Chain A
C-alpha cells in the first residue's frame, strides 16, 4: 500500500534504533565495498562509511555510532590474520593505543566546545579537507617519485639506509620494536598517537589513514607490519568508542550493525587478500588517490554553492521519550 521506501531496492528491514527501513541488499553491498577498501589498505573505512550512511537518510548520530561496530568486526579479522602471519607489532600497537586514549579525551572535549560554538560541521569538514589533502598529496608525491625513478631504470631508494634517520627519532627514551625493525624514541610515536586519538574522537574515525602513512613514511616501518599494527590499534580504540556511543548516545543500531558486519567481513577478506598481492608502491599510490579523492569531495562541499542552503536538524523528539516510558 505504501510507496516503496527510499534507500534502495529489494527486501526492506526496519531498523529499531534508527527508526526507518533500509534495503537489506544495499546495506550488505555497502558493508562489502567499504570492508574491501578497509582490508586492502589497513584502514577502518569509517571516513567512507559515515557519509554514505548519512546519505541514505540514517540519522548522523546512529551512522557514526553504528559503523564503529563494522570497523571492529572487519579489523578483528585482519588482526587475527596478521597475528598468524606474524605481521603485527604488538609493542608498537600498545604504545599507539596508550597515546590514542589520552588524545581521544582531548578530542571529545574539543568536539563539545565546537558544538557549543555552533560550528561543529565546519570544524569537521575543514579537518577532513586539510588532513586528507595533506596526507594524500604527500603520499602521491612520494609514489610518483618512486614510479619515476623506477621507469628511468634508476635504483629505487632503499626503504631505510643505515644511519639515515630523522633527528627526532633519536630522542631519549628509545625503545626497540623487533617486528618493525625499529629502534626509536617513544616520544614521536606517542605524539603521533595523541594526535590520532584527538582527530579520531573529533571526526568519529579510527585514524587508520593517518597511522598507515605515518608509520610508512615517518618511521619507515615495513608495509606488511604497518597494516596489521594499524588494524590492531583500530580494533582497540573503536571497541571503546562503540561501547561509549552505546552508553552515552544510545545510538548503536544492532540490526544495521549486523548487516554492515556481514557485508564487511566478506569485503575485508577479499581486500586483505588483494592487498597482499599488491606491489608496495602501487599500494601507496592507490591509498594516496583515495585520500585525495575524499579530501577533494569535502573541499567541494565547502566551496561550491549549495543547492539547498538550508538544513534541518532534530535536536530532540519530545513525546517520543514520554511515549516509550514503560507502564
Chain B
C-alpha cells in the first residue's frame, strides 16, 4: 500500500517535472560572522519556468521554503516531582535534529496541501518534528518531548514557521527572507524550495549557504581547537597579567 503510494508520487512528480521547473538562489552563499554580528537574514529568490506545452493551472502556484541548519544531537529532559523535589526523570534523544529549522510559505500550509502529503513529504515544522525518524517512537510517550523541543526552540527563534514568508513579485517570481538569529550556530544550512499547485508538489530544488566565522573569530576558534594547551596558557597569562596590572594601578603606597 505504502509502496504503491510512493510510486504514485514518483510518477506524479516525474510528469510534473517536465512541465514546470524551478530556479532558485540565495542572496549570499557564504555569510560571514564578524565581531559585531548580531544575526542576519538571507534572501531566497526564484522563478517558476514553464515550457510551451504546460497547461495553465487554475489554482495558481504556492512555494514552501524549508531551511535546515547544522545537525545536532539533542536531549530533551522532563522534570518530575519525586517526594519534595523536582528532578529530571524521563528523557528523549533527538540524534539528528537541525540546530535551525525555518519553514516559510506563500500561504498557510493547510491551504496549500493535504495533511497526508504534508506528513509524508515532511512539509512544515510539525511534519518534520512529528516524523517517525526524527526520534525513537515510544507509543505516544515521545509526543510531549517533540512538542517541548518545538516550544523551546521556537522561544529562541531557532524553529519558526511563517505562513506569509514567501511573497510573489510576479505570478512566476518569488522571494523569501530567512531570519537567522544570532544564536543560530555556524555551519552548513540547506535551503529546500518546493513548488506546489493544486495540493501536489510540482518541482523541488535545493541550494545552501554557509554561516562561517571570519578573521579574528575564526582564528580564535582554530587556535582553541588545534592549539588548546597554548590557548589555555595564553588565557591564563592574560588573566595573571591583568591581575598584576590592577594591583600596580590601584596601589596606594
Contacts and interface: CB of A to CB of B under 8 A. Distances in A.
B225 A257 contact: no
B74 A252 contact: no
A245 B91 CA distance: 27
Contacts of B179: 2
B228 A309 contact: no
Contacts, number: 233
Interface string B103-129: 000000000000000000000000000
Contact of B242 (A261, A303, A315): A261
B41 interface: yes
Interface in B13-38: 33-38
Interface in A232-289: 239, 242-247, 250, 252, 254-255, 257-258, 261-262, 265-266, 268-269
A75 interface: yes
A265 B246 contact: yes
Contacts of A319: 70-71, 187-188
A9 interface: no
Contact of A246 (B181, B218, B224, B240): B224
A150 B40 CA distance: 63
Contacts of B240: 72-73, 76, 239
Given A14-B37, A258-B238, A319-B188, A324 B244 contact: no
Contacts of A247: 228-229, 232
B244 A13 contact: no
Given A69-B236, A315-B73, A310 B86 contact: no
B45 interface: no
Interface residues of B, number: 76
A257 B243 contact: no
Interface string A207-248: 000000000000000000000000000000001001111110
Given A303-B86, A320-B70, A310 B78 contact: yes
B186 A320 contact: yes
B135 to A, nearest CB: 12
A14 B35 contact: yes
B232 A242 contact: yes
A121 interface: yes
Interface stretch (B47-55, B148-156, B160-168): B148-156
Interface stretch (B4-12, B59-67, B197-205, B209-217): B209-217
B235 A252 contact: yes
A305 interface: yes
B221 interface: yes
B247 A4 contact: no
A164 interface: no
Contacts of A16: 213, 216-218, 220-221, 224
Nearest to A262: B242
A316 B73 contact: yes
A74 interface: yes
Contacts of A245: 232
Contact of B80 (A80, A254, A265, A309): A309
Contacts of B74: 312-315
Interface in B56-110: 70-81, 84-88, 91, 96, 99
Nearest to A74: B243
Interface string A297-327: 0000011111011111111111110011010
Nearest to B221: A16
B157 to A, nearest CB: 8
Given A242-B232, A243-B229, A323-B210, A14 B36 contact: yes
A254 B238 contact: yes
Contacts of A250: 224-225, 228, 231
Contact of B236 (A1, A12, A242, A269): A242
A144 B119 CA distance: 66
Given A303-B85, A316-B72, 6 more contacts: A21-B182, A254-B220, A316-B73, A317-B185, A319-B70, A324-B221
Nearest first, the 7 closest Cβ-Cβ pairs linking A and B are: A76-B243, A246-B232, A310-B148, A265-B246, A2-B39, A319-B70, A72-B239
29 contacts: A2-B179, A2-B182, A14-B34, A16-B224, A19-B183, A21-B37, A69-B236, A69-B238, A76-B242, A77-B247, A84-B251, A119-B87, A121-B88, A242-B239, A243-B233, A246-B233, A250-B224, A250-B228, A254-B234, A265-B242, A266-B246, A302-B87, A306-B86, A309-B79, A313-B74, A317-B71, A319-B70, A319-B188, A324-B225
Interface of B: 33-41, 70-81, 84-88, 91, 96, 99, 144-145, 148-149, 151-153, 179-183, 185-188, 210, 212-213, 216-218, 220-222, 224-225, 228-229, 231-236, 238-240, 242-247, 250-251, 253
